[in-house]
C-alpha cells in the first residue's frame, strides 16, 4: 500500500482511555456539558459520534445547546468553500460565549483544519480556540484535552502521516435505529477538484472481523439500518492482502441474522463491478438504492477531473443495474462549472440526467480548493453563467423527480420512521428503501419502526401518505 499509514496499537488506545479517566477525575466535582457541531458528510457524522463518545467518557454530558456547554468541539468540512466559511463563521460566533464563560473550552477538528493554511488561520486569527486536531489525530482527543486543561497552553495537533485506523474508541450514537459504520478511510483517487485525499489520507480498510463484530453488536442493540461508509467503498479490501472485496464483505454482513437493512456510500464508477450489482440483487437486506457519482456527463470534463471512466461505461453499469434490479433507485453527485466546462459539455450532463433518470441528484457549483490540480486550470466561465447552468440542472432534475414520484401514487410502501418533520405540520417523516422522503400522520410510538404507508400525494421532493394499520 502506498503512503505512510500509522498503526494504532491497542496499547495506544489504552493510553487514550487513561487520559479519558484522568479528565473524568478532574471533572468529577461538577456537572459539565459538551456540544459537538458537525459540518459535512456522513463520515464526519460518524467521527462526531466518536468525539461525543470520548467526551462522554471524560465526564461531559452531551447537549445540543451550546449556551450550556463547558466544551464545544467543531468538526469541520473542506469539500467546498461554503462549508469552510460556515465553520469559520460559527467559530467566530463562539467568541462571545467564551467572553461570558471564560472557562469554556473551544476545539476544532476535521477536514478544514487538516490543511496547513487553515491551521495557521486558526492559530493567528482565532486566539480563543483552545485546541485543534486533524482527522488523523481524532483518537488523541483525550490527550489533547488533558494537556490543554493541565498546561493551559493552546494545543495544535496535525501530523504528516497518511492516516491511521483506530479501533475500540467509545461511540455515542446519535440515533437509536440508524447507524454509520466506517469500513474504510481515506482516498487514493485524486480527482482533480477534490481536497479529500489531502485531508483524509490514503485508502485503508478496516479488518472484516472488526466490521462484522461492530455490526453484530448494533443489530443486537436493535439498530434497523446500517450504512457502510467509505470515500470509495468499491476499493474495500485492496490493501488487506486477504482476498476479500466489497461484494464479499456485503455478503458476510447480509449473513448476520436479524431484521435490518444495509446501505453503503460512496461508490466510484471506475471500481463498481457487475459482481457488486449481482450481490445487491441477490440480497433482500441490501437497500435497492445505489449512489453513483457521475460528476459530469462530458467525457472531456471527466478526463480533466481524472475520473477514469466515460459516460458510456457509466451508462453500461446503470443499465445493468436497472436490468438486474428493476426497482433500483439511482442517485448521483454532479459538479457544475468545472474549469473549462463549455455549454456543450454542460449539455452532455443534462443529457445524462435524461438518460439515466436519477431518482435524486446532489449538485454543486465547482468550488476552487487550494492545492488541488483543478485550482490552477483555466476557468473562463463567469460565476453568473455557472449559476444559470446550475438552475437549469435543477429544473431538469426536478421534472424527472416529479415524474418518478408520481409513479408512487396509490401504492403501499414500507417506511422506516425517522421522527417528526420540522416543516410539514409536525407530521411523521421517514424514508422508504429507496431513500424517498415520506410524510404522514401518526403516533410517536412509530418512530424507529418499519411501517406500511399508502401514498396519496406526490410532489417533486417528497411523498405524502396515510399510515396503514396492520
Ligand atoms: N467543488 C464542488 N463540488 C465538489 N465535490 C467535491 N469536491 C468539490 C469541489 N471542489 C462534490 C463531488 C463529490 C461530493 C461529495 O462533493 O460531487 O462527489
Ligand atoms: Fe474526492 Fe474523488 Fe476521492 Fe471522491 S473519489 S473523495 S471525489 S478524490
Minimal-distance CA residue to ligand 1 atom 13? 333
Contact (CB, 8 A) for 239 and 194: no
- The residues, any chain, with a CB within 8 Å of residue 332's CB and separated by 6 or more, are 291, 292, 293, 294, 356, 358, 361, 362
Spatial separation of the C-alpha atoms in residues 402 and 90, rounded to whole Å: 36
CA of 446 to the centre of ligand 1 (A): 36
392 three-state secondary structure: helix
Contact (CB, 8 A) for 228 and 291: no
- The residues with which 467 forms a beta bridge, in sequence order, are 453
Q: Which among 134, 135, 76, 72 is positioned nearest to 106, based on CA atoms?
A: 72
Query: Ligand nearest 80 Cα, by number?
Result: 1
Spatial separation of the C-alpha atoms in residues 237 and 229, rounded to whole Å: 14
What pTM, to 2 d.p., does this model score?
0.92
CA of 410 to the centre of ligand 1 (A): 37
Query: Ligand nearest 292 Cα, by number?
Result: 1
Backbone angles phi, psi at 88, to 5 degrees: -65, -40
CA of 383 to the centre of ligand 2 (A): 23
How far the first Cα of the chain sits from its last, in Å, is: 53
Distance of CA 346 to CAs 260, 299, 334, Å?
40, 11, 11
| pLDDT at position 155 | 98
Cell numbers that stand for 4 in this block: 505512510
The CB of 364 under 6 Å from ligand 1? The reply is yes
The CB of 267 under 6 Å from ligand 2? The reply is no
The CB of 305 under 6 Å from ligand 1? The reply is no
Contact (CB, 8 A) for 349 and 393: yes
Closest atom of ligand 1 relative to the 334 alpha carbon: 17
Scan for cell 500500500, then name that residue.
1
Secondary structure element (H or E) that encloses residue 218, with its range:
helix 208-220
Minimal-distance CA residue to ligand 1 atom 6? 194
Query: Ligand nearest 192 Cα, by number?
Result: 2
| pLDDT at position 434 | 84
Distance of CA 457 to CAs 409, 438, 439, 462, 465, Å?
6, 10, 10, 9, 7
Cell numbers that stand for 229 in this block: 461508509
The CB of 190 under 6 Å from ligand 2? The reply is yes
pLDDT in tens, the chain (470 residues): 456 888 899 999 999 999 999 999 999 999 999 999 999 999 999 999 999 999 999 999 999 999 999 999 999 999 999 999 999 999 999 999 999 998 999 999 999 999 999 999 999 999 999 999 999 999 999 999 999 999 999 999 998 889 999 999 999 999 999 999 999 999 999 999 999 999 999 999 999 999 999 999 999 999 999 999 999 999 999 999 999 999 999 999 999 999 999 999 999 999 999 999 999 999 999 999 999 999 999 999 999 999 999 999 999 999 999 999 999 999 999 999 999 999 999 999 999 999 999 999 999 999 999 999 999 999 999 999 999 999 999 999 999 999 999 999 999 999 999 999 877 678 999 998 888 899 999 999 999 999 999 999 999 988 999 999 76
Query: Where does residue 367 fall: left (phi above 0), alpha (psi -120 to 50 degrees), or beta otherwise?
Result: beta
Closest atom of ligand 2 relative to the 232 alpha carbon: 5
Spatial separation of the C-alpha atoms in residues 120 and 131, rounded to whole Å: 13
Contact (CB, 8 A) for 183 and 205: yes
| pLDDT at position 75 | 98
The CB of 372 under 6 Å from ligand 2? The reply is no
The CB of 337 under 6 Å from ligand 1? The reply is no
Closest atom of ligand 2 relative to the 190 alpha carbon: 8
The CB of 369 under 6 Å from ligand 1? The reply is yes
Spatial separation of the C-alpha atoms in residues 286 and 441, rounded to whole Å: 28
The CB of 333 under 6 Å from ligand 1? The reply is yes
Query: Ligand nearest 42 Cα, by number?
Result: 1
Residue 264: count other Cβ atoms within 10 Å of its Cβ.
Answer: 26
The CB of 363 under 6 Å from ligand 1? The reply is no
Closest atom of ligand 2 relative to the 295 alpha carbon: 7
Cell numbers that stand for 116 in this block: 496547513
CA of 381 to the centre of ligand 1 (A): 18
90 three-state secondary structure: helix
317 three-state secondary structure: helix
- The residues with which 438 forms a beta bridge, in sequence order, are 430, 463
The CB of 196 under 6 Å from ligand 2? The reply is yes
- The residues with which 429 forms a beta bridge, in sequence order, are 419, 439
- The residues with which 286 forms a beta bridge, in sequence order, are 262
CA of 350 to the centre of ligand 1 (A): 18
CA of 363 to the centre of ligand 1 (A): 8
CA of 118 to the centre of ligand 2 (A): 21
Spatial separation of the C-alpha atoms in residues 452 and 405, rounded to whole Å: 17
The CB of 188 under 6 Å from ligand 2? The reply is no
| pLDDT at position 1 | 42
Distance of CA 427 to CAs 225, 437, 452, Å?
22, 12, 15
- The residues, any chain, with a CB within 8 Å of residue 377's CB and separated by 6 or more, are 192, 304, 339, 340
Distance of CA 216 to CAs 173, 176, 257, Å?
15, 15, 9
Amino acid at each position: 500500500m502506498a503512503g505512510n499509514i500509522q498503526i494504532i496499537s491497542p496499547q495506544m488506545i489504552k493510553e487514550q482511555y487513561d487520559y479519558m479517566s484522568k479528565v473524568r477525575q478532574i471533572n468529577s466535582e461538577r456537572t459539565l456539558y459538551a456540544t459537538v457541531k458537525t459540518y459535512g458528510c456522513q463520515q464526519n457524522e460518524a467521527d462526531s459520534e466518536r468525539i461525543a463518545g470520548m467526551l462522554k467518557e471524560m465526564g461531559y454530558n452531551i447537549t445540543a445547546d451550546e449556551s450550556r456547554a463547558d466544551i464545544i468541539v467543531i468538526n469541520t468540512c473542506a469539500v467546498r468553500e461554503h462549508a469552510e466559511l460556515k465553520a469559520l463563521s460559527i467559530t467566530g460566533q463562539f467568541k462571545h460565549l467564551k467572553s461570558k464563560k471564560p472557562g469554556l473550552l473551544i476545539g476544532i477538528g476535521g477536514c478544514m483544519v487538516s490543511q496547513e493554511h487553515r491551521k495557521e488561520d486558526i492559530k493567528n486569527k482565532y486566539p480563543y480556540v483552545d485546541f485543534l486536531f486533524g482527522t488523523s489525530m481524532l483518537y488523541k482527543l483525550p490527550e489533547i484535552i488533558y494537556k490543554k486543561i493541565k498546561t493551559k497552553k493552546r494545543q495544535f495537533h496535525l501530523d504528516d502521516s497518511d492516516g491511521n485506523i483506530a479501533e475500540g474508541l467509545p461511540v455515542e450514537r446519535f440515533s437509536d435505529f440508524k447507524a454509520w459504520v466506517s469500513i474504510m478511510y481515506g482516498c487514493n483517487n485524486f480527482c482533480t477538484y477534490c481536497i479529500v485525499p489531502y485531508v483524509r489520507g490514503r485508502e485503508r480498510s478496516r479488518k472484516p472481523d472488526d466490521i462484522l463484530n461492530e455490526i453484530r453488536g448494533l443489530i443486537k442493540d436493535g439498530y434497523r439500518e446500517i450504512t457502510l461508509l467509505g470515500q470509495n467503498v468499491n476499493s474495500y479490501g485492496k490493501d488487506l492482502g486477504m482476498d476479500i472485496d466489497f461484494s464479499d464483505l456485503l455478503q458476510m454482513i447480509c449473513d448476520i441474522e436479524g431484521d435490518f437493512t444495509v446501505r453503503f456510500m460512496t461508490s466510484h464508477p471506475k471500481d463498481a463491478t457487475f459482481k457488486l450489482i449481482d450481490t445487491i440483487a441477490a440480497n433482500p437486506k441490501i437497500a435497492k438504492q445505489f449512489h453513483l457519482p457521475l460528476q459530469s456527463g462530458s467525457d472531456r470534463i471527466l478526463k480533466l477531473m481524472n475520473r477514469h471512466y466515460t459516460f458510456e461505461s457509466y451508462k453500461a453499469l446503470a443499465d445493468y443495474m436497472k436490468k438486474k434490479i428493476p426497482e433500483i433507485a439511482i442517485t448521483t453527485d454532479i459538479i457544475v462549472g468545472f474549469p473549462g466546462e463549455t455549454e456543450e459539455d454542460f449539455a452532455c450532463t443534462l443529457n445524462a440526467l435524461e438518460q439515466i433518470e436519477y431518482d435524486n441528484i446532489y449538485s454543486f457549483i465547482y468550488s476552487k480548493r487550494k492545492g488541488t490540480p483543478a485550482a490552477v486550470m483555466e476557468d473562463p466561465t463567469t460565476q453568473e453563467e455557472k449559476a444559470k447552468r446550475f438552475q437549469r440542472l435543477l429544473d431538469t432534475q426536478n421534472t424527472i423527480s416529479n415524474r418518478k414520484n408520481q409513479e408512487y401514487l396509490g401504492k403501499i410502501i414500507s417506511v422506516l420512521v425517522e421522527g417528526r418533520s420540522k416543516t410539514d405540520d409536525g407530521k411523521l417523516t421517514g424514508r422508504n428503501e429507496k431513500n424517498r422522503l415520506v410524510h404522514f400522520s401518526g403516533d410517536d410510538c412509530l418512530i424507529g419502526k418499519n411501517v406500511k404507508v399508502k401514498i396519496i400525494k406526490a410532489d417533486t421532493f417528497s411523498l405524502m401518505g396515510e399510515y396503514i394499520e396492520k
